[in-house]
């Protein structure tokens, strides 16, 4: 679950890097839109999974793993979707977390469709 958290934070950071780096105003807005909602999912995972288990010690300043940063947003979303599908298939999480992961996967699919426009 921690790796998923790191990947989501890296996705948000990737969207911001792209947002700041473009000269095209429509792409500038697109990258902002692609980054929306990620913080909410990160917070839900942190609270529902780690904090509910009293595992607050996992939250360190190096939670952003630079190896997980991928500026190709479609590719990054697809990596996340594959990770989520493996987690669900391996039954690593309970039903409540499976529901949250399914919601995240759905949102990532929407981001893929938007990014491909």
Going by pLDDT thresholds of 50, 70 and 90, the confidence category of residue 27 is very high
Going by pLDDT thresholds of 50, 70 and 90, the confidence category of residue 93 is confident
Q: Which domains does the chain carry?
A: 2-115 (1.20.1260.10)
Dump pLDDT digits (tens) for 48-80. Answer: 999 989 999 999 998 999 999 999 999 999 999
Residue 109 above 90 pLDDT? yes
Question: So what's the pLDDT on residue 95?
Answer: 86
| Nearest Cα to Cα of residue 87 among 98, 78, 73, 96 | 98
Going by pLDDT thresholds of 50, 70 and 90, the confidence category of residue 117 is confident
Cα–Cα dist 24/18, whole Å: 11
Q: For residue 16, with 0-12 CB atoms within 10 Å meaning exposed, 13-18 middle and 19 or more buried, which class applies?
A: middle
pTM of this prediction?
Answer: 0.93
Buried b (16+ CB within 10 A) or exposed e, 36-65: ebbeebbeebbebbbeeeeeeeeeeeeeee
């Amino acid at each position: 679950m921690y790796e998923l958290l790191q990947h989501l934070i890296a996705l948000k950071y990737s969207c911001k890097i792209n947002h700041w780096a473009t000269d095209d105003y429509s792409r500038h807005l697109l990258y902002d839109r692609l980054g929306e909602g990620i913080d909410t999912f990160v917070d839900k995972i942190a609270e529902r999974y780690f904090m509910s288990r009293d595992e607050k010690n996992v939250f360190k300043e190096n939670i952003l793993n630079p190896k997980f940063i991928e500026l190709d947003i479609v590719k990054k979303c697809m990596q996340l979707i594959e990770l989520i599908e493996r987690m669900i298939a391996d039954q690593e999480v309970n039903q409540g977390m499976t529901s949250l992961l399914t919601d995240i996967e759905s949102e990532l699919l929407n981001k893929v469709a938007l990014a491909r426009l």
